[in-house]
Amino acid sequence: MRKVKRYLQILLAVTVLLVGLVVIFEDKNASTTIKDLEEETTSANTSNKKEETKKKKMTVYIDPGHGEIDAGTISYKGTYEKDINLVIAKQVGKILQAKDVNVVYSRTTDEIYSEIEADDMQHRIDESKEVKATYVVSIHCNASDDGTRTGVEAFTNTEDDKAMALSTSIMKELEALKYTNSNGIIDGTNLLHMISFAKVPTTLVELGYIDTEHDGKYIMSKVGQNAIAKAIANGVLNELKKAE
Ligand SMILES: [Zn+2]
């Protein structure tokens, strides 16, 4: 009988020990699980933040005016406007891309969507909306009938605050280059398809009158094109910062 009691006592002690060990082990397991969960949540938050940053990357639609059969105006040296527009537009795009802006071009070669001007313009407008662009910057060079006009100007919808702010910002930068006079910001809603039917805040900059040597020489020079592209990009970037 005593032996049995002793045996029971040992059995009880062993059981208590085992139960104790199981509790400690379970506890450790539980704390590891919580830590794991915490880590998972943290990594989920980080990837969420990354997603947000991705979403916040803004898109600018850059439209080098004209193309293909539509040469635009002709410079005093015989250069086509469409070619000058494309060179400068690509430079603007590169600067913006370097600043983490998503850039979509209406064209990157001497090709157009349609030879019917209105269809081609509308395609550019629709595309800018499709890619969810924050702004549209259409780049052009001008010429006058009598070849006497000079100056930089921007066409926009003057009733659209965002488009006005964008135009003002770009014009300020271009005017600071002082390569020509400024003709200011002009309401283009009844003049230009790109402005009349714009679905996104749009500015159409006319960099100058390339049929004159006064404007054309600078606009067609490497130095001039670099400075103009930088000015346009800075004008856009200043407004994008506000839109963030
Ligand atoms: Zn043009």
Q: Mean of the pLDDT values across residues 177-188? A: 98
* CA 67 to ligand 1 centroid distance, Å: 10
* CA 239 to ligand 1 centroid distance, Å: 24
- What pLDDT band is residue 243 in, cutting at 50, 70 and 90? confident
The answer for residues whose C-beta is within 8 angstroms of residue 146's C-beta and 6 or more apart is: none
What is the C-alpha to C-alpha distance for residues 158 and 185, in angstroms, rounded to an integer?
8
Q: Of 125, 134, 144, which Cα lies nearest the Cα of 201?
A: 134
- What predicted TM-score, i.e. pTM, was given to this entire model? 0.78
Tokens of 133: 């662009």
* CA 62 to ligand 1 centroid distance, Å: 14
* CA 117 to ligand 1 centroid distance, Å: 12
* CA 73 to ligand 1 centroid distance, Å: 6
* CA 112 to ligand 1 centroid distance, Å: 14
CATH superfamily of 57-243: Zn-dependent exopeptidases (3.40.630.40)
Tokens of 99: 């600043």
Strands, E, within the chain: which ranges?
59-64, 102-105, 135-142, 152-156, 182-187, 202-209
**Helix 213-220 and helix 222-243, axial crossing angle in degrees, nearest 10:** 80
- Parallel, antiparallel, or unpaired: how do β-strands 102-105 and 202-209 relate? unpaired
* CA 150 to ligand 1 centroid distance, Å: 15
User: What is the structure's pLDDT at 19?
Assistant: 52
User: What is the structure's pLDDT at 32?
Assistant: 44
* CA 65 to ligand 1 centroid distance, Å: 5
* CA 52 to ligand 1 centroid distance, Å: 38
Q: Which residue ranges make up each domain of the chain?
A: 1-56, 57-243
* CA 126 to ligand 1 centroid distance, Å: 19
More reliable by pLDDT, 9 or 111: 111
| 37 HSE (CA, 13 A, CB side) | 6
* CA 29 to ligand 1 centroid distance, Å: 71
The SS3 assignment for 32 reads: helix
User: What is the structure's pLDDT at 244?
Assistant: 72
User: What is the structure's pLDDT at 89?
Assistant: 98
pLDDT in tens, 50-106: 545 455 789 999 999 999 999 999 999 999 999 999 999 999 999 999 999 999 999
User: What is the structure's pLDDT at 33?
Assistant: 45
If 0-12 CB within 10 Å is exposed, 13-18 middle and 19+ buried, where does residue 17 land? exposed
* CA 80 to ligand 1 centroid distance, Å: 10
| 49 HSE (CA, 13 A, CB side) | 6
pLDDT in tens, 11-57: 555 555 555 444 444 544 444 444 444 444 444 444 455 545 455 78
* CA 72 to ligand 1 centroid distance, Å: 5
* CA 241 to ligand 1 centroid distance, Å: 28
What is the C-alpha to C-alpha distance for residues 184 and 222, in angstroms, rounded to an integer?
25
CB-based burial, 175-199: b 16+ in 10 Å, e otherwise: beeebbeebebbebbeebbbbeebe
Q: Mean of the pLDDT values across residues 107-117? A: 96
Cβ pair 125, 63 in contact under 8 A: no
- What pLDDT band is residue 3 in, cutting at 50, 70 and 90? low
* CA 74 to ligand 1 centroid distance, Å: 10
Sign of CA dihedral 85, 87, 88, 94: positive
Cβ pair 135, 239 in contact under 8 A: yes
